[in-house]
Amino acid sequence: MDLTIEPLHGPPVDQWALEVVERKGLGHPDSICDALAEDFSRRLCRFYLDQFGAIAHHNVDKALLSGGVARAAFGGGEVLEPMEIFLSGRATREFKGIIVPIEEIAATCVDDWFRGNMHAVNPEQHIRVHCLARPGSSDLVELFARQFETGVPMANDTSCGVGFAPASELERVVYRVERRLNSAAIKQSHPEIGEDIKVMGVRRGNHICLTVAVALVGRYVADIGDYRNKKAALIELATQAARKETPETVSVVVNAGDDIDAGNIYLTVTGTSAESGDDGEVGRGNRANGLITPFRPMTMEAVAGKNPVTHVGKLYNLAAQQIASEIVAAVNVVTDVHCCLVSQIGQPVTDPAIANLQIRTVAGIDVVEVSPQIEEIVGNRLSQIGSLWTHLIEDEPHVY
């Protein structure tokens, strides 16, 4: 491994004049695709473990949601054409005479996820599932199988992963607001709030402006006056959540595209724009840390659905984030960390080709003074990559 540790130059992002952060919530079409791809992978992993004693080769990170057609209305509405879910990628379909029920696993995955996460969606009526997972290419299957001979997982791609810590104030605000609005407690008291929630946060100096898109569920909204009142309540809920993370001035705009006087509002049947207004795809939404942070290091890599044993597109993004967070927590003179890990296909996942750490320290402390501690943390974290799959199949950590 080529490990470089160097200073992180420039002011922290909190001190920049402008900062932008976004989060696509649980019911956003892109987040739905991420969630389904990841759950599909987890279920395949469990089947493979139960039947074969090991996780077999798969990468089911190519999911697409093609939106349906719906007629939203106060007090109800109806879905006219269902949303179409396409779960695609590569998966082992047979091993030693045992047939893997891929289509059944995919269908159960989609049904269970929507029933457990989208309170206004009826999967039988509103969703149509297409499973397009095919066997993997022989060279990648062989590369995956090589771990059973060597005992070391081999990277199945040449890719990179990045992470940073700590989260900025705006990043914490945006994340908290979406999580609060999509919490079970809020859904119980405000069932009109659909799961398709997107939060765009912009900080100019010390002022934070949040633009929040929320798909309201028509059956819980009586009329235009009720919509107006529920929208005002949403603004207050979002503001309260934001104030848990910042003392700064926060302004909140909900459903900015509304023209209430003309009756053009964000009303849905199911609580997601996927019913009629939008489509989704894996990898177009939140990064592995749950946010979209254009002022921070990011990759275009889709994490959800990739196998958790050898796919560095998943493992290195998660490991880089863990490394950055641990360094900030463990080395008290370090204030900011950017971590980048680069793999080379066919090499052990525990031994990246490049590991680059950019470190900001408190005034008067040279990076060289903390390099031994950082090297130890990097080494320990990389040595644990081979067991990261045991957490991922239990949905820890989240990857979207």
Question: What is the tens place of the pLDDT at every residue in 286-314?
Answer: 999 999 999 999 999 999 999 999 999 99
Among the four given CATH numbers 3.40.50.800, 3.30.300.20, 3.40.50.1370, 3.30.300.10, the one describing domain 29-149: 3.30.300.10
CB 291, CB 250: distance < 8 Å: no
User: Residue 261 class from Cβ within 10 Å (0-12 exposed, 13-18 middle, 19+ buried)?
Assistant: exposed
177-201 average pLDDT score:
97
Q: What is the pLDDT of residues 65-99, one digit of tens each?
A: 999 999 999 999 999 999 999 999 999 998 888 99
Q: In 10 A of CB 264, how many CB atoms?
A: 10
> Which residues, 6 or more positions from 267, have their beta carbon under 8 angstroms from its beta carbon?
72, 73, 74, 77, 216, 218, 221, 227
pLDDT in tens, 193-212: 999 999 999 999 999 999 99
Q: Rounded to an integer, what distance in angstroms lies between the CA atom of residue 160 and that of residue 164?
A: 14
| CB proximity list for 12: less than 8 A, separation 6 or greater | 168, 335, 336, 360
- Which residue reads 């927590």 in tokens? 329
Whether the domain at 2-17+158-167+285-392 and the domain at 21-25+169-281 fall into the same CATH topology = yes
- Kindly provide the b/e burial profile for residues 78-103, where b requires at least 16 CB atoms within 10 angstroms of the residue's own CB: ebeebbbbbbbbbbbbeeeeeebebe
Q: What is the pLDDT of residue 277?
A: 83
Cα separation, 128 vs 119, whole angstroms? 17
Contact, 166 vs 175, CB < 8 A? Answer: no
What are the structural domain ranges in the chain? Answer: 2-17+158-167+285-392, 21-25+169-281, 29-149
Mean pLDDT of the chain, nearest integer:
95
pLDDT at 144: 76
State whether CATH 3.40.50.300 applies to domain 2-17+158-167+285-392.
Answer: no
Query: Strand 160-165 vs strand 334-342: parallel, antiparallel, or unpaired?
Result: antiparallel
Report the alpha-carbon distance of residue 213 to residue 258 in Å, rounded.
10
The pLDDT > 70 percentage for the chain reads 98
At the fourth CATH level, the homologous superfamily of domain 21-25+169-281 is: S-adenosylmethionine synthetase, N-terminal domain (3.30.300.340)
Can you count the helices (H) and strands (E) in the chain?
Answer: 11, 17
Q: DSSP code of 348?
A: B
Residue 281: beta bridge partners?
64
What is residue 280's predicted lDDT score, i.e. its pLDDT?
97
Whole-angstrom Cα distance, residue 53 to residue 59? 18
The pairing of strands 250-254 and 207-217 is parallel
